[in-house]
Amino acid sequence: MDELMKRPTWDDDFVKRRTVEICMPRIRAWFGGERFDEREVADDLMKVLSPSKDGYEMASELERRMHWAVDSALVEVLDECTGDCDTALKELTSQWVRALRIVPQFAVGDTVSLKYARDGHKTGQVVKLIEDEARYGIRVEGQAETAYFLEKFEDVSLPVAVLAEAM
């Protein structure tokens, strides 16, 4: 897929930048009346913010790598910012879906093949469409009635048996 058209991921700088924009009001409040270079702070945050780290891990990294004077209040702020990572990614993915007019190829009830095996299964049934994120909810054999895996549209295809019948 063309780089300009690829799905946003956490590794994209524009996703990290949007995350920083979302959490910056809380960072400003943490600084209080202290003057600071917002661009420099944003750059530092982009280096440590991650949906897989908690506030303590990010604060420790800011202290160790960027020489911030951290405290428990900053840890709490950064804990809240981890949720902003997901918010930013969903927001930008939704924009990507609308810009490229991405629509699902499969409907609820369709049996599909999965690019990556889930619980040892390579096929499942579409049980949910999350169109603004370009994801399917896929239930595989043996899963609870209310459970499903979230799969990207691009990681789901027709089952091999169906493809063979079409030929």
* Residue 78, pLDDT score: 96
pLDDT in tens, 25-43: 999 999 998 999 999 999 9
Is the pLDDT assigned to residue 99 strictly greater than 80?
Answer: yes
Q: DSSP assignment, residue 101?
A: T
* pLDDT (0 to 100) of residue 135: 97
pTM of the model: 0.83
Q: Tell me how far the alpha carbon of residue 3 is from its chain's centroid.
A: 18
CA angle 56, 59, 61 (to 5 degrees): 110
pLDDT at 165: 55
Over residues 64-68, the mean pLDDT reads: 96
User: What is the rounded distance in angstroms from the CA atom of residue 91 to the CA atom of residue 84?
Assistant: 10
Look at residue 11 and give its three-state secondary structure.
Answer: coil
Res. 67: pLDDT tops 80: yes
Please check the confidence at residue 109 and state whether its pLDDT lies above 70.
yes
Distance between CA atoms of residues 124 and 139, nearest Å? 5
Q: 5 falls in which pLDDT band (50, 70, 90)?
A: confident
Identify the CA nearest to 31 among candidates 41, 21, 45.
Answer: 41
Element (H, E) at 135: strand 135-139
